[in-house]
Chain A
């Protein structure tokens, strides 16, 4: 088959699916959908169809990004727009299928919105919803829409046309198109993509390599996972375009071990592409060959760093090396290698197909196009979003994210994970782009965006990220291996109410030394969360150090619980659930909390009937640290 015939077949299949006289039912089955019970929903859909004797096309799709509404089920009846239903747990499936498919009641109460032409009474259009309206979907355009395990679905959406077009172009012109688009590395560093490709192309040494960095290790980031699970072919096509531009048949994807579903879907996608000669030898009858091999990580955050990642592919310990030379000069096995992030590759097919100028029409002067973010934390509508660069943090948090959970006050948004920083409410109008975020003391990063409210302690947050980096430090260079644990020790003292005047200055000095002296990206950015927290939330640090209180009531050594006997109904639930038996009571009487045994775990508050809430968390130490087992203290020190 030539590409035209493949396209025709794909379009015919897609059309047949949409215009079939059977209803089409899709279930969101990315990892997030599965965690919300998507598999059980899928099984229930099949059961319900069998029960009513309805024939339908049922298929799994990736994640549309509204993770908080999973499991998501779409139903498209012949001649009607597709309706997206949310929170369809297995027990709701039967009534939904029966009502809509048997009695033609579209169940507007369960529906989120419609997709496609036509309207259904009582249901809004999905992309008019406040969460989706400000979004521009380029790299995520197919996620949640197509079956990721069917290459024809991808081709029917225009997939692989960019590759087919590029194969008739001069590789330098492909690179020029990427240059015009202004695409910069989406892994966080923001290095212009075309320059990596150009340098790799010009290198006289061979073989060369194209490597896709899918070692998405930042906690709170899942952009790459969603793309790989929802639309794996877009990444493969982007890599093939890179291979053609650079002039190499060798592609590798380094995917982290925590993403088994992504690996599975990538393997299926690679095989399907090979079967249609869109990957493999002499692609579409040209002289260009390109093959992709998947390597799985084994749980090391530092392997997201370029040189460490490549050592890991070579079967060695993933420890970074001194740079320069950069990996385009000396990468895998010391040979020229272009390493790009999943999302970077996912943008390339659209750029080649529609032109660099089109892509560059989105975004700001220095940041072109769109960026995906994993919006999480204490927010009403957490999920995966794709927005044009230059959008403000306020729009992201309040419009797309729907504001803070429980209408609590916004405190900060953390961007860039363990390499980034926290930005306070005063900076909410900052437009999102590489330079503005860096000036504000954070970074764009790979796209993790964690929103926190006033119940989150910024000192604890800094401690959390630092503990993460201490744990993940490979141990090769002294500033990172020795400096970070020292910083952590100081912060832990502060959270335990043992901070001393001058601690903040010492942390800043040590942090800046590590930034200046560490070997790789992990070390040089690890102090960022602490430094930015001190910069914007100094009063909270001072409260911990000088007043020995935690204003957010998080740090366990600086709080205690008290029980108001007048409010208590003596149900004694807290007494039975207390893990350290710190709560005792005489029959029918209000219990008493023994502060010396209490570990401040908060279990009593969660089991206490909310309407009476006699137990309150209060600032101040009622016998610091007493009752906490010694080994717990030990664990804390080592992060």
Chain B
């Protein structure tokens, strides 16, 4: 039994109602949802593993695959879209060699195209590890990526 997982489950008193919150905390800890951890959660909150998979595949924020060191979220909301988000995304895809939803070989970057992040007036916007970068061009985005090792 992994102690970190026990601690997370205990945070919610093992209540199955908090499944989504438990999965969020696990993802914050491991950057993804490891299979063996999900098995442990299943046992401790008494929810079948199939149900846990059904929830974790439904919500987009969850990943069942290991993620890279840096999570790059490219906003493809409407306002960013009309201001050229697609070009920025394509530029990042060319630079990293991966497409949205993938992680590169060295696990340096995981790239996600995400729904509106709510700072539309500053589009196109990308968020790397929780840090916002606004008013981007393809060239600027590529330059910013270089500062993340």
Contact = CB atoms under 8 A, between A and B. Distances in A.
B118 A464 contact: no
Contacts of A317: 54-55, 58
Interface stretch (B1-9, B12-20, B64-72, B103-111): B12-20
Contacts of A216: 118
Contacts of A221: 116, 118, 120
A68 B135 CA distance: 10
A318 B55 CA distance: 8
Contacts of B18: 315
A35 B115 contact: no
A312 B139 contact: no
B96 interface: no
Q: Give the interface residue-count category, chain A.
A: 35 or more
Contacts of A417: 78
Tell which of A217, A260, A374 has the most Cβ of chain B within 10 Å. Answer: A374
A70 B122 contact: yes
Contacts of B61: 257, 297-299
Given A35-B132, A67-B122, A376-B121, A314 B55 contact: no
Contacts of A378: 82-83
B118 A258 contact: yes
A465 B116 CA distance: 12
B120 A222 contact: yes
A35 B119 contact: yes
Contacts of B79: 219-220, 376-377, 382, 450
Contacts of B120: 67, 220-222, 374, 376, 382, 450
Contacts of A603: 87, 91, 138
Contacts of B91: 579, 603
Nearest to B99: A635
Given A298-B24, A315-B55, A317-B58, A450 B78 contact: yes
Nearest to A224: B118
Contact of A299 (B19, B21, B59, B139): B59
A377 B91 CA distance: 21
A456 B82 contact: yes
A515 interface: no
Interface string A519-560: 000000000000000000000000000000000000000000
Given A68-B121, A456-B82, A296 B20 contact: yes
Given A220-B79, A316-B55, A606-B137, A298 B118 contact: no
Contacts of A313: 17
Contacts of A377: 78-79, 82-83
B59 A31 contact: no
Contacts of A601: 87, 90
Given A220-B78, A296-B24, A67 B54 contact: no
A315 B122 contact: no
Nearest to A601: B90
Contacts of B132: 31, 34-35
Given A315-B55, A414-B78, A382 B121 contact: yes
Interface string A465-486: 1001000101000000000000
Nearest to A31: B119
Contacts, number: 147
A218 B118 CA distance: 9
B117 A31 contact: yes
A444 B29 CA distance: 40
A283 B70 CA distance: 45
A36 interface: yes
A225 B118 contact: yes
B40 to A, nearest CB: 17
Contacts of B137: 606
Nearest to B57: A317
Interface string A275-300: 00000000000000000000111111
A614 interface: no
B97 to A, nearest CB: 12
A147 B120 CA distance: 23
Nearest to A405: B83
Contacts of A301: 115
Contacts of A631: 99
Contacts of B81: 219, 464
Interface string A83-124: 000000000000000000000000000000000000000000
Contacts of B134: 35-36
Given A258-B118, A316-B55, A300 B78 contact: no
Nearest to B134: A35
A363 interface: no
A383 interface: yes
Contacts of B21: 295-296
B17 A315 contact: yes
A194 interface: no
A464 B17 CA distance: 35
Nearest to B78: A220
A602 B118 CA distance: 27
A175 interface: no
A32 interface: yes
Tell which of B58, B87, B90 has the most Cβ of chain A within 10 Å. Answer: B58
A349 interface: no
A36 B122 contact: yes
Contact of A450 (B19, B59, B82): B82
A315 B118 contact: no
Given A299-B60, A315-B17, A259 B118 contact: yes
Given A221-B116, A298-B24, A314 B59 contact: no
Nearest to A475: B58
A67 B83 CA distance: 15
B77 A298 contact: no
Contacts of A374: 120
Contacts of A259: 118
Give 5 nearest A-B pairs by CB, closest first: A67-B121, A219-B77, A298-B59, A299-B60, A222-B118
Given A36-B135, A217-B115, A220-B78, 13 more contacts: A31-B132, A34-B132, A220-B116, A222-B119, A258-B117, A296-B20, A297-B20, A298-B62, A300-B60, A376-B121, A448-B78, A450-B79, A452-B82
5 contacts: A31-B119, A32-B122, A258-B117, A296-B20, A315-B55
Interface of B: 16-21, 23-24, 54-55, 58-62, 76-79, 81-83, 87, 90-91, 94, 99, 114-123, 125, 130, 132-135, 137-139
